[in-house]
Structure 1
Amino acid sequence: MRTSRHHRLAVVLLAASLALAGCGASADDRAAGSEKAADGRPGPGYAADGSGADGKASDGTGSDAKAGPAATAAPEQRQRQHVVRTAVLSVEVADATAALAKARAVTEAAGGHVADETTERVDDDHVTSQIVLRVPQSAYDATLKELAGAGKLLSRKAAAEDVTDQVVDVESRIATQRASVARVRELMDRATKLSDVVTLEGQLSSRQADLEALLAKQAALKDRTALATITLHLDERERPAAEPEDDGPGFGDALSGGWNALVSTAKWAGIVLLAVAPWAAVLLVGYAGWRWLVRPRTARRRTAERADSGDAAS
C-alpha cells in the first residue's frame, strides 16, 4: 500500500516537472520570436512561405510580399526589343565600279549579303549604281559608317521602327492557332459520323491556312528584325572634258584653210550660176530674136526711109 503511494507521488512529481519545463520553453520561444520580429525577421510562428501558424497568408509586410511585384515585372524588363532598321545613302565616288566592289566586300565581312543591284552606264563614260545590302543588326552602325566614307556623302536617311508589339502579337496568335488546330484534330479522332468528319476537316483546313499565314508573317518579321537594310546609291563623278592644245596656225593649216576657201567659193559660184541659168537662157533667146529678126528689119526700114527722103529732096 505504501509502495503504491510512493509510485503515485513519483508520477505526480514527474508530471509537474514536465509541465514546468514546457512552460519555460514556451516562454523562451515567445521571447526569441519577439526579438526576431523586432529585427524585421519572422518569428517561429510564421511559416517559410509567408503564412501564419493558422495557415492564413501574411498581411504583406513580409519579404515575399515585396518580391511579388518585382518577380512579375522582371519578365517584362527582360523582354527582347525587336527593331526594323533601314537606311538610304547617296555617295559620289571617283570610280563607281571600285566602290561597288568595296561595298560587297564590306557587306560579306559583316556577315550580310547583297539583295539587289542595278548598274548602268550613261554617256559611255559615266556609271551609276544602286545596291541593296542586308547586314546583321550588330554590324549595322559600323557598316553604315564605312559605306558613307567611300566618297563624298550627298544624302543620308536612316529609320528605326519598333515592331516588338507585332512580334509578340504574332507569337501569341500562333500559339492560340496551334492549340485550336490540335483541338480540331482531337475532335476528328473522336468523330464517328461522316458529316462531323467533313465539317471538322473544313475547320481544320481553314485553321491550318491561318496558321501558315501567321508563320509566314513571323518569318518575315524575323528576317526584317535580324537583318538591317541599307540602300546605297553610287554616282560616279563626271570627268572634265580635255581641252585641245592650241599651238597656233602652221603652214599646213594655212594651205588647208586656203583650199577650203577655194572649194567653198567655187561651190557657191556654181550655186549662183545654176540659179541664174534659167534667166540667162531667157535673156539669150530674147537677144537672139532681136539680133537676127528685129534688127535687120529695122535697118532695112531705115535705109528705105533714107532713100525715099533723098528722092523727094532731088
Structure 2
Amino acid sequence: MRARLRFAAVVLMASLALAGCGSGASNGSSADSKEAAAGEAAAGGAAKGPAPDSAHAGAQPPGGKGQQTAVPQTHVIRTAELHVEVKDATAALASVRTAVEGAGGHVADESTERIDDTQVTSRVVLRVPQDRYATLLTELAGTGKLLSRKADAKDVTGQVVDVESRIATQRASVARVRALMDRAEQLSDVVTLEGELSRRQAELESLLAQQASLKDRTTMATITLELSEPEKKEQAKTEDDPGFLDALSGGWNALVTTLRWIVVVLGAAAPFLLAFAVAYAVWRFLVRPRLRGRTARGPAPRKD
C-alpha cells in the first residue's frame, strides 16, 4: 500500500514539474515573439525612412497587396485626316514641313495643284512619332480654318503578339530542319529536307515582313493633310459687274466679229453674184433690145 502511495506521489510531482517547465517555455517563447515583433516593427520603421519605395516594395512577400503586376505593352495604329483652309498654301506647306521634321517625322508623299491660276491646293502624307502625334495634330489643325477632321486608332496588340509567337515557332522549326539536314546521309532525304527548309524560311521571311510593317505603323502615326486657299471673291464680283471700258471693248469686238462674218459671206456669195451679173448683162444689152425692135415693127401685112 505504501509502495503505491509513493509511486503516485512521484508521478504527481513529475507531472507538476513538467507543467511548470511547459509554462515557463511558453512564457519564454511568447516574450521572444514579442521582442521579435518589436524588432521587425523597428526595422520596418527604419526602412520607411531612407530606403527607396522600390526596395520597400521588394521586401514584401509575393502575392501581397504591394506586388506590382507587369502591364502588357499596347500597340496602336493611329491615322488622321485634316482639311484646312489657309491664305497661302505654299507658305503653310513650308511651315508644316518644318514642324514635322522638327518633331522627328518626315513627309512621305506630297501633291500640289494650281486651280484656275487663282488657287493652290496641296495634299501631303506625314509620318510622325506616336508620342508627338496628338501635339502635331492640334498644331496642324490650327494652321488655318479647319474644314474637316477625322482620327482613327486601331489596337493591334493581339496581332503583334501573335506574329511574334509565330516567328519564334517558325525559327525553331527552321532550326530543327537544319539539324536534320546535318544528320541526313541519303540524297533523297537531303533533297526533301532542302525543300522543306525553303518553304519554312519563306514563311519566316513573310512573318518578319509583317512584323516590320506592324512595327513601322505602330511606331509612326500617319496624318493626311490637305491645304486649300479660299476663292477670290473680289475678282468674281468685278467680273459680274462690268464697267464702261468693258462695254466699249465688248461692242468693238462684236463689230469686228460682224464685219468679219460679212466679208466671209460676201466671199462665199461672190461667184453666184458674178454669174447673176453676167446673165443680167446679156439679157439687158442683147436680148431685151431685140425683143423691143420686133414689138415696134409689128406684124408683117398679109398678101391676098
TM-score band (shorter)? Answer: 0.5 to 0.7
**Matching residue of 1:298:** 295
Gaps of 5+ in 1: 1-17, 42-62, 309-314
**TM-score normalised by length of structure 1:** 0.65
Give, in angstroms, the shift of residue 131 of structure 1.
0.8
The match for 1:183 among 176, 183, 192 is: 176
SS of corresponding position for 1:285: helix
Counting only pairs closer than 5 Å after superposition, residues 39-78 of structure 1 correspond to structure 2 as: 66-67=63-64, 74-75=69-70, 78=71
Give, in angstroms, the shift of residue 292 of structure 1.
2.0
Cα RMSD over matched residues? 4.2
Q: Distance in 1 between matches of 2:209 and 2:125?
A: 22
| Cα distance, 1:189–1:273 mapped onto 2, change above 3 Å | closer
**Matching residue of 2:222:** 229
Counting only pairs closer than 5 Å after superposition, residues 119-268 of structure 1 correspond to structure 2 as: 119-240=112-233, 241=235, 243=238, 246=243, 267=263
SS of corresponding position for 2:211: helix
Q: Distance in 1 between matches of 2:258 and 2:114?
A: 44
**Offset from partner CA, 1:277-313 (integer Å, 9 cap, x none):** 54444333323344321111111227x78xx9xxxxx
SS of corresponding position for 2:126: strand
Number of positions where the alignment pairs a residue of Structure 1 with one of Structure 2: 255
Q: Distance in 2 between matches of 1:294 and 1:197?
A: 124
Q: Distance in 1 between matches of 2:284 and 2:78?
A: 97
| Cα distance, 1:142–1:284 mapped onto 2, change above 3 Å | same
Give, in angstroms, the shift of residue 185 of structure 1.
2.7
**Matching residue's letter, 1:111:** G
> 1:80 aligned to 2:73?
yes
Give, in angstroms, the shift of residue 148 of structure 1.
1.7
Give, in angstroms, the shift of residue 94 of structure 1.
2.1
Q: What percent identity do the matched residue pairs reach?
A: 51
| Cα distance, 1:278–1:126 mapped onto 2, change above 3 Å | farther
Q: Distance in 2 between matches of 1:199 and 1:263?
A: 92
Give, in angstroms, the shift of residue 143 of structure 1.
1.1
Q: Distance in 1 between matches of 2:73 and 2:174?
A: 28
**Matching residue's letter, 2:26:** A
The match for 2:87 among 68, 81, 94 is: 94
| Cα distance, 1:94–1:299 mapped onto 2, change above 3 Å | same
**Offset from partner CA, 1:53-84 (integer Å, 9 cap, x none):** xxxxxxxxxx968549x96x823xx1111110
| Cα distance, 1:213–1:21 mapped onto 2, change above 3 Å | farther
**TM-score normalised by length of structure 2:** 0.67
Q: Distance in 2 between matches of 1:272 and 1:179?
A: 92
Q: Distance in 2 between matches of 1:34 and 1:269?
A: 130
| Cα distance, 1:262–1:190 mapped onto 2, change above 3 Å | closer
**Offset from partner CA, 1:248-273 (integer Å, 9 cap, x none):** 79xx99xx89x969967985995798
Q: Distance in 2 between matches of 1:35 and 1:104?
A: 71
Structure showing greater radius of gyration is 1
| Cα distance, 1:187–1:291 mapped onto 2, change above 3 Å | closer
Structure 1 stretch displaced more, 103-112 or 192-201: 192-201
**Offset from partner CA, 1:132-182 (integer Å, 9 cap, x none):** 100001111111122222222222111110001001111111122222222
Q: Distance in 2 between matches of 1:268 and 1:204?
A: 85
Q: Distance in 2 between matches of 1:294 and 1:271?
A: 35
Q: Distance in 2 between matches of 1:24 and 1:33?
A: 14
Q: Distance in 2 between matches of 1:209 and 1:115?
A: 29
Give, in angstroms, the shift of residue 24 of structure 1.
5.5
Q: Distance in 2 between matches of 1:289 and 1:281?
A: 12
SS of corresponding position for 1:284: helix
**Matching residue of 1:282:** 279
Q: Distance in 2 between matches of 1:272 and 1:195?
A: 94
Gaps of 5+ in 2: 1-16, 41-59
Give, in angstroms, the shift of residue 35 of structure 1.
8.1
